[in-house]
Copies of this chain bind each other. A is one copy, B any other.
């Protein structure tokens, strides 16, 4: 049975306020998580409620944290999240970047002392809906090997950009830096399948096809070899170093140690094409780009060519029409939230 967005959203709000989060912040978290589920990005949807509630209850995330802008100019700001939830401060940072970019042409807002970022694409789509180009990225705990390493040595640091694209809505690219998400490897382990070479190393640094090596401490591999490693370092630099957040091994694996603060760093960049290139209609031109890309001849066996974010956009439209189908893992997580908070979760 599909869930209505309102049902899921109300549950998230109720559970979060029950552990001390303000109604305003709880509403923002609920909107961001349910949006990810609508887009089929279940790894960043309501399944995260369990970890958030654990962190809030154990004090690793402070429910009543008030973020503070610690440095600011017309085109930049730096925000100290004061160990609060990552999602509300990320939405606020994006709003600030948009507001500044509309006056300055471009703006960058960095955040430190933050926590789990949620789906990056939410923030870049906020920019695209305002006619702006957006970039968003975040550090994460080290679960990937840099090229040549045998150990977890860098995060699979998520990165997103979005571009307004007229009739196509928006291009929205939202990736992590590993070849595949850890969830896909755990699923192969559960189902007893082997995995292709290039996804994972064993805990001695040898390439492996055994998904069980992940649970034994084997690191994920960066996508595209050293090119993915280098992009991950870009995110570490812009979201971690520039923000003054923790770096690499000092970023706590919050989902393993809920009571420890994460000091995660984020970076948001918004760009207003209307200021930079006033003689040019960027969304129209992005439409032309997509017209051309989508009309290119298909390779044998290929049914459709997609632009980045198109699949998620179509899933979103479907979920908005028919409700949200949740995977079992998300339902289990919400049942666990119910046990932790005593706020019953009713299936629809």
Contacts and interface: CB of A to CB of B under 8 A. Distances in A.
Chain A interface size band reads: 35 or more
Interface in A234-251: 234, 236-238, 240-244, 247-249
A104 B106 CA distance: 10
Contacts of A276: 71, 76, 78, 108, 110, 242
A19 B78 CA distance: 50
A340 to B, nearest CB: 35
Interface stretch (A45-53, A55-63, A81-89, A145-153): A145-153
Nearest to A229: B308
Interface of A: 71, 73-76, 78, 104-108, 110, 133, 145-151, 153-154, 161, 163, 171, 173, 175, 179, 201, 204-206, 223-231, 233-234, 236-238, 240-244, 247-249, 269, 271, 273, 275-280, 282, 285-286, 288-289, 292-293, 296-300, 302, 304-308
A115 to B, nearest CB: 19
A23 to B, nearest CB: 32
Contact of A299 (B206, B285, B300): B206
A240 B285 CA distance: 10
A275 B150 CA distance: 37
Contact of A300 (B74, B150, B231): B150
A277 B146 contact: no
Nearest to A104: B75
What 8 pairs between A and B have smallest CB-CB spacing?
A: A205-B299, A224-B224, A76-B105, A223-B224, A153-B296, A173-B230, A230-B308, A150-B299
A282 B106 CA distance: 21
Contacts of A306: 147-148
B292 A108 contact: no
A247 B299 contact: no
A306 B142 CA distance: 18
A251 to B, nearest CB: 12
Contact of A75 (B105, B228, B242, B296): B105
A292 B249 contact: yes
B151 A297 contact: yes
A38 B331 CA distance: 58
Given A293-B154, A297-B205, A237 B163 contact: yes
A286 to B, nearest CB: 6
Contacts of A275: 71, 73, 76
Contact of A244 (B230, B243, B279): B279
Nearest to A153: B296
A224 B205 CA distance: 21
A171 B78 contact: no
Nearest to A299: B205
Contacts of A288: 247
Contacts of A285: 241, 244, 247
22 contacts: A71-B276, A74-B74, A74-B75, A78-B277, A110-B277, A150-B298, A154-B293, A163-B234, A163-B241, A173-B233, A205-B298, A223-B225, A224-B224, A224-B227, A231-B231, A237-B286, A237-B289, A240-B289, A241-B282, A243-B277, A244-B277, A244-B279
B247 A292 contact: yes
B236 A296 contact: no
